[in-house]
Amino acid sequence: MSLRIALLGALAANGPLSGYDLAKNFDGSLSYVWPARHSQIYPELAKLAADGLATVREDGGRGRKVYEIAEDGRAALAKWLTGTEPSRGIRSEASLRMFLLPLLDPAQAVPLLRREAERYAEQVRELEQVRDHHRPPTAPGRNGWYALDLGIRQLAAIRDWAAATADHIAELTSSGPG
Amino acid sequence: MSLRIALLGALAANGPLSGYDLAKNFDGSLSYVWPARHSQIYPELAKLAADGLATVREDGGRGRKVYEIAEDGRAALAKWLTGTEPSRGIRSEASLRMFLLPLLDPAQAVPLLRREAERYAEQVRELEQVRDHHRPPTAPGRNGWYALDLGIRQLAAIRDWAAATADHIAELTSSGPG
DNA sequence: CAGAACATGTAACCGGTTACATGATTTT
DNA sequence: AAAATCATGTAACCGGTTACATGTTCTG
């Protein structure tokens, strides 16, 4: 279900798009919460068209097909956003690692946590540049600025946790068993 | 691979456990980043034992089997934590919804964002109580406090984003097209 | 004209979910 | 003795990944 919604969302936000465009980066931000490969995207777009939620049009000689969201598609998207409870579960290998890092002995855990903190800090800096380059929207509607902002905040949370946890463990071990 | 690691992590952190125990809540916190059902856990534990990463012992007459992490298991866990790059991808239906909510017209989006902000605020308050009840560890090693702290920070980030975005959209529409 | 990038699809496999199935102990 | 809970497992299905397969247009 969710892939379908993600595609409708991308089409609603970024106008008519081909499967190739969508596969490339899913609008550059959607892939952060719902990644998908072209092998999954192409069949799903075909289904979307078959179900009348999007319209297809051949575009140029290279076999390119451009999909545009239909009225039924917008309705389905709005219904999902307003009328259903999303599953709160997530599955994140990176977070799993964070959860488990404190199990290592402090001499290993602290530098790894600091390295992770720095990695996330760097990613946050990069994305902040992109975000601030685009500037917040001055009119409501279709744009990825909010999505990017959310991504940055989540990464910053992990960064802060990793730094704080490294400090905490380091402090414990310097005073504790010494 | 990750389920295997998650199970080893749970066994390392919380001592010997049965599949039933693990399935119940995955230590109460691990399930937040890597949920799993008993139908997946039981076979994986059997494999873990077959591969020598954990040891089994029958425990009581109800067919209960208790698994304990073996030395090889600890080594495998440590190797994964220190020697591999985790995939950075996540898949979150809740975040997907957040990403897409600003696509709705402001009259719908703003109250939904505020409702989500309140939902996350409540969850943060609940988990903060749990966390602060347990208090931060005073000795390094096996405990779920850090994991819980990470979960709270991530939820708080979403909460803050939802509130800020609601405010921002509301402000735009009150001054913008009026 | 060769190689890169564009563009779409299919098939095999794997991890995960839902549902099915069974039996032992404890509680009421 | 019935119901609830403990406890483990299997099977069918589905969503997603990897790999395979094919053809077109642009660039150097």
List the domains of chain A with CATH numbers: 2-83 (1.10.10.10), 93-175 (no CATH)
Return the pLDDT at A176: 63
Q: Which nucleotides of chain D have an atom under 7 angstroms from any protein CB?
A: 6-11, 15-20, 23-25
Indicate yes or no: CB of B82 within 8 angstroms of CB of A112.
yes
B150 close to B131: Cβ distance less than 8 angstroms: no
Mutate to test the interface with A, among B26, B32, B33, B105 (most CBs of A within 10 A): B33
pLDDT bucket at B74, cuts 50 / 70 / 90: very high
Q: How many residues does chain A have?
A: 178
Q: Which residues of B65-103 are buried (b: 16+ CB within 10 A; e: fewer)?
A: bbbebbeebbebbbebbeeeebeeebbbbbbbbbbbbbb
DSSP A128-155: HHHHHHH---SSSSS-SHHHHHHHHHHH
Tell me which of B40, B97, B116 to substitute to probe the interface with A (most A C-beta atoms closer than 10 Å): B97
Residue A177 is predicted with a pLDDT of: 60
State residue B142's pLDDT score.
55
Name the closest residue on chain B to residue A139, using Cα atoms.
B172
Q: From CA A165, how far away is CA B108, in angstroms rounded?
A: 39
pLDDT value at residue B176? 63
CB B97, CB A81: distance < 8 Å: yes
> What is chain A's mean pLDDT, rounded?
90
Question: Which two tokens mark A56?
Answer: 């297809």
The dihedral region occupied by B54, where left means phi > 0, alpha psi between -120 and 50, and beta the remainder, is beta
Percent of chain B with pLDDT over 90: 69
pLDDT of A160: 98
Across residues A3-8, what is the average pLDDT? 97
Instruction: Of A104-108, A171-175, B41-45, B167-171, give the lowest mean pLDDT range.
Output: A171-175
Chain A: residue whose CA lies nearest to B136: A168
Of A94-98, B119-123, B137-141, B167-171, minimum mean pLDDT range: B137-141
Taking alpha carbons only, the member of B32, B161, B145, B26 closest to residue B98 is B161
Q: Which two tokens stand for residue B69?
A: 């992490």
Q: For B167-175, what is the mean pLDDT?
A: 89
Q: In this predicted structure, which of A74-78, A169-173, B88-92 has the lowest mean pLDDT?
A: B88-92
The answer to whether residues A72 and A8 touch, using CB atoms and an 8 Å cutoff, is: no
Residue B27 pLDDT exceeds 70: no
pLDDT at A141: 57
Q: Between residues B81 and B27, which one has the greater pLDDT?
A: B81
As a whole number of angstroms, the distance between CA B122 and CA A152 comes to 22
Chain A CB contacts of B100 under 8 Å are 5, 9, 12-13, 77, 81
Sorting pLDDT into bands at 50, 70 and 90, what band is A6? very high
Which tokens is B129 given? 């109580």
Mean pLDDT of A61-73: 95
Q: Measure the CA–CA gap between A162 and B135, rounded to whole angstroms.
A: 18
